A and B are shown apart, each in its own frame.
Chain A
Amino acid sequence: MKAAALLFGLLLVPSLAHAQGAVGEVPRFPDGKPDLTGVWQGGSTLRGSWDESNGGTGVGGSGRNPAAPVVLSSNDRPAGQNSAPYQDWAAKKVLESFRKRGIDDPTAQCLPGGLPRSVLVGLFPQQFVQTPTQLVILYEYMHVFRVVPINGKHPDDVLPSYMGDSVARWDGDTLVIDVIGFNDKTWLSGVGTFHSDALHVTERYRRVDKDRIDYEVTMEDPKVLTRPWTLKNSLMLREGTRLQEYICAENNLDPGRYDKLIKDGVKFER
């Protein structure tokens, strides 16, 4: 009987721990470095499976838990954080995109989301696959990837690209990714947040427990910004979620619709 009670108690422990919000340990490689491998959701702070943590009524929510916080859409920067420090001429351009409700959004042409937008988006998961020498990140959103050498160097002849050229190094338990070599065809975070080919992005990923990575990103672009712009967010582990295909160009009807709206003189600006 005692043995049965003990067994019952042992079985009970994990579920109680979960209910009380106990958090798991950070998985580590034999050399002690954190392992970021897993499927993650940006733009959220809630623990649990995709289904458990996406019950809100906002973007991507199922509506089963109306009290749950809203995840970020691909055109909203994290709430309550610094607005973008654009030079005056550039700020006017950002506001013009906002006034036109983002019809000049590069992703509306099914182009890649760029950084940090692809990381902050909540509607689609991203998968990290890490070895001791590299981190590979797969984004469901626009179906793009990054291959990030750890302790590697940028090539001397970097080609401009949508997702840039990434190299990583460890700063204690934080993986710091340095990204250069962007083209000027993506938005940073928010409607109209364009940048130049001088963009330099520094990302800091710190897995603080099993379920959560604290993410901090600093954007520098002397051609359009007055000073570095930093945003903070978290990525939440979504065990059991599998990345799906997202081939945006398959049936993108919006170009034709915008063509017609403009031809017909339908007012849509704000």
Chain B
Amino acid sequence: MASVLLLIALLHHSFGAEYDANKPVTLTGVVTAIEWTNPHTHFYLDVKDAKGKVVNWKLEGYPPSVLYRNGFKRDVTMKVGDTVTVFAWRARDGGNWAHSRELTYGDGKKMFLGPPAGTGEGAAPAVEVKP
């Protein structure tokens, strides 16, 4: 019971707990699904690896309201079947999912799908660190 409570008390919005800023990745592939949900959107891409095998990647993005204010047009900017390129940072667990940053779509247009590495974990401690 105690461990269940502990796990419930842990959680998201911290880049660095789930993603590794030292593992950038650029993925080009075909959009297979878009989840327009809070607190994060998700984009799925079919990407061919070096051996030609297709791997489905999951990319986390801004919430819908933030994408909307940044000029992302639902069902226009990116649709299932489109080929796009996304710059992202990989998850720490090594799975095929990542924190998305820059989308390249259409004829080379670019926009941000997610915030910079490090967002949400605090750039500096809120208190002075005593030696």
Chain A residues within 8 Å of B, Cβ to Cβ: 50-51, 54, 57-63, 73-77, 83-84, 86, 91, 94-95, 98, 100-105, 107-110, 123-124, 140, 189-193, 241, 244-255, 257-262, 264, 266-268, 270
Closest chain B residue, CB of each to CB of A91:
B127
Q: Known contacts A102-B120, A254-B18, A261-B92; can you find 14 more A-B pairs with CB under 8 A?
A: A54-B70, A58-B115, A62-B71, A63-B111, A98-B126, A105-B14, A108-B12, A109-B9, A193-B126, A245-B38, A251-B35, A255-B11, A259-B10, A268-B92
Q: Which residue of B is nearest A73, CB measured?
A: B119
Q: A residues within 8 A CB of B123?
A: 76
Are B16 and A270 in touch, CB under 8 angstroms? yes
> Quick check: B65 and A245 within 8 Å, CB to CB?
yes
Q: Nearest Cβ distance between residue B4 and chain A, in whole angstroms?
A: 10
Q: Chain A CB within 10 Å — which of B9, B123, B126, B128 has the most?
A: B126
Least CB separation from B20: chain A residue: A268
Closest-CB distance, B21 to chain A (whole angstroms): 11
Q: Once the chains are docked, how many angstroms separate the CA of A134 from the CA of B17?
A: 42
Residue in contact with A123 in the complex, picked from B66, B93, B102, CB distance below 8 Å: B66
Contact (Cβ within 8 A) A60 B65:
no
Give every chain A residue within 8 A of B126 (Cβ-Cβ). Answer: 77, 83-84, 94, 98, 189-193
Task: Map CB proximity to A onto B114-131 as digits: 1 under 8 Å, 0 otherwise.
Answer: 011001111101111110
**Given contacts A62-B71, A140-B65, is CB(A258)–CB(B17) below 8 Å?**
yes
Q: Which of B8, B10, B65 has the most CB of A within 10 A?
A: B10
The reply to whether A101 and B39 contact each other, CB–CB distance below 8 Å, is: no
**Which residues on the A side are within 8 Å of B24 (C-beta)?**
none
Q: Tell whether, in the assembled complex, residue A60 and residue B125 are in contact, meaning their CB atoms are under 8 Å apart.
A: no
Minimum Cβ distance to chain A for residue B5 (Å): 12
> Which A residues touch B69, using CB under 8 A?
50-51, 54, 60, 241, 244
Would you call B12 and A76 a contact (CB within 8 A)? no
From B116, B125, B130, A94 is in contact (CB under 8 Å) with: B125
Residue ID in chain B nearest A70 by CB atoms: B116
**Contact A63–B17 (Cβ < 8 Å):** no
Task: Name the residue on A nearest B60 (C-beta).
Answer: A253
Interface size bracket, B side: 35 or more
Instruction: Note all chain A residues with C-beta closer than 8 A to B8.
Output: 109, 255
* In the complex, B74 has a CB within 8 A of chain A: no
B7 at the interface (CB under 8 A from A): yes
CA distance A86 to B126 in the complex (A): 9
Task: Return B111 CB to nearest CB of chain A, in Å.
Answer: 7
Q: Are the C-beta atoms of B122 and A75 separated by less than 8 Å? A: yes
Complex: A167 Cα to B37 Cα, angstroms: 35
In the bound complex, do residue A248 and residue B39 qualify as a contact, i.e. CB atoms below 8 Å apart? Answer: yes
Which of B12, B63, B125, B129 is the one whose CB lies under 8 Å from A254?
A: B12
Most buried by B among A76, A107, A241, A245: A76
- Inter-chain contact B17/A268, CB cutoff 8 Å: yes
Residue contact B11 to A94, C-beta cutoff 8 Å: no
Shortest C-beta distance, A100 to chain B (Å), equals 8
Q: How far is the CB of B125 from chain A (nearest CB, A)?
A: 5
Note all chain A residues with C-beta closer than 8 A to B14: 75, 101-103, 105, 108
Q: How far is the CA of A123 from the CA of B13 in the complex (A)?
A: 13
**A73 x B115 contact (CB < 8 A):** yes
Pairwise interchain contact B121-A191, C-beta atoms closer than 8 A: yes
B112 contacts the other chain (CB 8 A) = yes
By a CB distance below 8 angstroms, the chain A residues around B7 are 255, 258-259, 262
**Chain A residues near B121 (CB-CB < 8 A):** 75, 101-102, 191
Q: 4 closest A-B pairs (Cβ-Cβ)?
A: A254-B12, A108-B11, A190-B126, A191-B122
Find out whether the CB atom of B12 lies under 8 angstroms from the CB atom of A101.
no
Quick check: A268 and B18 within 8 Å, CB to CB?
yes
